[in-house]
């Protein structure tokens, strides 16, 4: 159990007065957020996940605008359409239908609805989208194009060169002369979803701008776009980096991005204080990352490699309140945004970053492990077991050693300050021992959490604790006697009151520490659902533990439990991130 050392003077008398007046100090209303003007570029599909085509549906507005984003991420409009269902595709032969579980345009011939890569181009350039569109609309299948900074009028789309040449000959017989244009490695087309009707074509000739697409708003509310089952604010950029498939980036306001993160990472039904803690943590983490994915021309991705993000799909009243009430706030350490890692649950204790990832603790002093008694209040069923054969252990964990025979047993041979495993020793059939860090075991085997041991009930050795002082009444200022923790509150440096609660609580007096709690101090190892050692059974070892994630920083279910117990978002953050302050970034 986590010990609480409380410095009490006249506080005992003041606590009752403060509570009668309305409790702890209220958080000041946040000032307008400067970060609200920041634009986030979020990678949705890139690398091996780049697309051949992507559907967009504007259910609230009146269509889409086409253009590009300049160096300051400002949208420059080139044209527009009233169509509310459009798809963006590569300018290669693509076919509309279902492929690999997604109904869109694919290079695989999944239907007879084809958008061809060959086009006919009318002579000359035009001064605007409207002029080019007017000229092209004189012919069936005509559309405006913006190629290398100039507007052109193009006609038709053909899957073969022969088909395009035949159409060119027909037009020539009517006195209309055109140039044959084939596919381009950087070309992008916008089509009416489910058809081969091209609305607009764009080609940056490799200069890296890509095609920008933004929904048109009509109601005054923020417009949303439905794509692949997710709902997004903002616009989209489609770019064929190095001539590849479509890299798709969502560009939107920073605070809208933060709401998308917390709505993905937590539930709108959770307490607002927990959601606020997640908002502040996600905000400072995003700022600390900078432009992590600059090689793909965006800042941050939508996966847990950065922060999970599915747009506004799961957003609601509480997530919006959490963003608005913490706008612009982040976790700050020594005047800089802290890199505030978080995870689902820790099983009873978070862990220092140096023990999990080997990072310098001096660089991340706020990512120090803490024993977490709060998370248990979330009533999680996060116990897990994972079984590995001797061969798997030798190949993944002990690949650098000359293992003799098979692994016959293993044990936790050292613990961290918060009671998580620090070193694991494996023994082979020849009696040879191999001691490795628990971090290597955790990462090599992909264990669900850093808090683990081996299947089978047992005990975990607790972190070293001071001998408990004698219990009994304590005199405050020489007159007031305090016996027990009922009605006691601790006050921190910011003036916040926190109920002391039950358990091991110590008062620091001029004579030393005196015990107030009823627990009597942690004198024995706590009983847990796993053991610190195990013998192989049928050639395999089974690891067991609680929690889900890397255990560094804030537990999301712990934040939920703390909020349910009455803690505020800043108290939650200061518990999980040692020494941080909550402030504007």
Please tell me the predicted confidence (pLDDT) of residue 318. 97
Sign of torsion over alpha carbons 240, 241, 244, 248: negative
pLDDT, residue 456, reads 76
Looking at residue 378, its pLDDT comes to 76
> Which of 491, 500, 562, 560 lies closest to 24 in space, CA to CA?
491
198, β-bridge pairs: 191
65 token code pair: 């605008």
Instruction: Please say whether the beta carbons of 63 and 82 come within 8 A.
Output: yes
Q: Give pLDDT < 70 ranges for the chain.
A: 1-36, 457-528
Residue 24: count other Cβ atoms within 10 Å of its Cβ.
20
Q: What is the pLDDT of residues 352-397, one digit of tens each?
A: 999 999 999 999 999 999 999 999 877 778 899 999 999 999 999 9
pTM for the model: 0.80
Q: 521 with 529: CB under 8 angstroms?
A: no
Distance CA 158, CA 145 (A): 16
Per-residue pLDDT at 467? 42
Spatial CA neighbour of 399 closest among 410, 391, 387: 391
What residues contact 507, with CB distance under 8 A and at least 6 apart? 6, 7, 8, 474, 482, 513, 514, 516
DSSP structural state of residue 179: E
Half-sphere exposure at residue 161, Cβ-oriented, CA atoms within 13 angstroms = 5
Specify whether the CB–CB gap between 114 and 91 falls below 8 A.
Answer: no
Domain locations in the chain as residue ranges: 4-29+466-515, 40-253, 254-372+555-584, 383-459+525-546
Q: What per-residue confidence (pLDDT) applies to 483?
A: 52
Is residue 105 within 8 Å of residue 87, measured between CB atoms?
yes
Nearest partner of 235 among 298, 323, 157, 281, judged by Cα: 298
Alpha helices in 110-179 (DSSP H): 129-136, 161-173
Asked if residue 467 lies in contact with residue 445, where contact means CB atoms within 8 angstroms, the answer is no
Tokens at 529, concatenated = 């659902």
Helical H runs in 331-389?
353-356
What was the pLDDT predicted at 496?
A: 40
In this predicted model, what pLDDT tens digit does every residue of 447-481 receive, in sequence order?
999 999 999 765 544 444 444 444 445 555 444 55
């Amino acid at each position: 159990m986590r010990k609480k050392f409380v410095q009490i003077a006249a506080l005992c008398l003041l606590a009752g007065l403060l509570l009668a007046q309305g409790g702890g100090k209220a958080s000041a209303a946040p000032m307008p957020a400067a970060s609200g003007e920041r634009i986030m570029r979020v990678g949705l599909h890139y690398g091996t996940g780049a697309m051949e085509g992507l559907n967009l549906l504007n259910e609230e507005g009146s269509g889409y605008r086409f253009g590009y984003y300049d160096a300051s991420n400002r949208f420059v409009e080139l044209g527009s359409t009233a169509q509310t269902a459009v798809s963006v595709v590569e300018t290669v032969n693509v076919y509309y239908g279902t492929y690999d579980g997604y109904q869109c345009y694919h290079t695989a011939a999944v239907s007879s609805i084809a958008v061809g890569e060959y086009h006919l181009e009318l002579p000359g350039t035009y001064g605007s989208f409207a002029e080019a569109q007017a000229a092209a609309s004189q012919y069936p299948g005509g559309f405006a194009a913006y190629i290398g900074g100039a507007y052109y009028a193009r006609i038709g789309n053909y899957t073969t060169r022969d088909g395009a040449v035949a159409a060119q000959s027909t037009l020539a017989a009517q006195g209309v002369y055109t140039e044959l244009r084939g596919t381009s490695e950087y070309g992008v087309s916008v089509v009416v979803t489910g058809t081969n009707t091209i609305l607009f074509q764009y080609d940056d000739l490799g200069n890296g701008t890509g095609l920008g697409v933004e929904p048109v708003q009509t109601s005054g509310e923020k417009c949303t776009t439905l794509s692949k089952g997710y709902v997004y604010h903002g616009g989209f950029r489609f770019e064929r980096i190095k001539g590849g498939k479509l890299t798709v980036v969502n560009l939107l306001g920073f605070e809208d991005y933060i709401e998308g993160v917390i709505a993905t990472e937590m539930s709108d039904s959770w307490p607002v204080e927990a959601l606020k803690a997640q908002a502040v943590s996600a905000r400072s983490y995003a700022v600390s990352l900078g432009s992590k994915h600059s090689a793909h021309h965006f800042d941050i991705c939508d996966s847990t490699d950065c922060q999970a993000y599915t747009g506004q799909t799961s957003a609601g009243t509480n997530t919006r309140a959490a963003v608005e009430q913490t706008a612009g706030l982040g976790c700050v350490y020594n005047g800089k945004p802290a890199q505030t890692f978080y995870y689902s649950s820790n099983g009873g204790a978070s862990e220092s970053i140096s023990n999990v990832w080997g990072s310098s603790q001096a660089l991340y002093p706020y990512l120090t492990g803490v024993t977490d008694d709060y998370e248990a209040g979330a009533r999680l069923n996060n116990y897990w077991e994972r079984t590995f054969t001797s061969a798997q252990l030798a190949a993944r964990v002990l690949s650098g050693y000359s293992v003799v025979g098979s692994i016959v047993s293993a044990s936790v041979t050292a613990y961290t300050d918060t009671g998580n495993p620090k070193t694991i020793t494996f023994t082979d059939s020849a009696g040879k021992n191999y001691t490795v860090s628990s971090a290597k075991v955790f990462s090599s085997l992909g264990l669900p959490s850093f808090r683990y041991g081996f299947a089978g009930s047992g005990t975990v050795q607790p972190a070293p604790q001071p001998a408990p002082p004698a219990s009994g009444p304590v005199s405050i200022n020489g007159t007031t006697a305090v016996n027990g923790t009922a009605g006691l509150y601790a006050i921190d440096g910011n003036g916040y009151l926190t109920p002391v609660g039950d358990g091991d609580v110590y008062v620091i007096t001029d004579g030393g520490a005196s015990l107030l709690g009823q627990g009597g101090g942690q004198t024995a190892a706590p009983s847990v659902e796993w053991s610190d050692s195990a013998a192989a059974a049928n050639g395999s070892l089974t690891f067991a533990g609680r929690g889900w994630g890397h255990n560094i920083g804030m537990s999301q279910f712990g934040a939920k439990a703390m909020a349910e117990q009455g803690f505020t978002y800043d108290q939650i953050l200061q518990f999980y991130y040692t020494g941080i302050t909550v402030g504007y970034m």
